Amino acid sequence: MTRKGYCLELGTEEYGEIFTLQQELNQARRNEIIPDIVIFLEHHPCFTIGRRGGFDHILVSKAFLEEQGIKVYETDRGGDITYHGPGQLVCYPILDLTGFERDVHLYARRMEETLIRTLNTFGIAAGRKKEYPGVWVGSAKIAAEGIAVQHWVTMHGVALNISPDLNHFSFIIPCGISASSLGVTSMEKILGHTVDFAQVRKEMRHQLSEVMDLELEDVTLKNVKDMLEGACNE
């Protein structure tokens, strides 16, 4: 049976503010104040360090990062360190896994499947790589995955490289993978031409709806904040 939820499409947002929003939405979903909600956005340049990560995987100085305008955040998602920035499509589902067999591994595979199907519609054959999360094209990662689950409600999600500044990945050991044979790539690098960001976002939303069996209704950030504020006042 198809579940109904909300879709919040934002622009380029500061990571810390969206991290806080995710925490609030996760709590509201656990309390059944809101239905499932999926967020699509870009972030200002930043590195985020997951539960298995550390600052030792940053290869440049704090002063250099400040010069580049790249911030660093510690977060509670799974995984190591990764980069977010303009040109990268980020998807944060806040879903109650009670409706997905309470299987975190199945959920992760479904998120990867969403990415694989999205890339396929643009002519890119992508897949999984054993022992490495995310989605790959050959030996290069094109999409990262890092999730968290609290009381069976998800947070964080996936990030697809459409046209980010790939040089920024050289400032870290992405996802803790230091093997010289593995790298990072993007849709535009593979295809050799400009990719319509809005079209990729539309396609990923469609594929996510199909894979997760979700019917998503558009909602604004004001709508979301009003719902959260209303819940606090009850």
Residues with catalytic function: 175
C-alpha–C-alpha distance, residues 148 and 51, integer Å: 10
Instruction: Calculate the alpha carbon distances from 101 to 91, 147, 154 in Å.
Output: 21, 17, 13
**Alpha carbon distance 64, 233 (integer Å):** 44
Question: Which residues, in sequence order, are bridge partners of residue 12?
Answer: 42
d(CA 225, CA 93): 17
- Nearest CA-CA partner of 218 in 200, 233, 201: 201
Residue 187 near residue 122, CB atoms below 8 Å: yes
Can you spell out the DSSP letters for 45-66?
SEEEE-TT--GGGB-S-HHHHH
How many residues make up the chain in this entry?
234
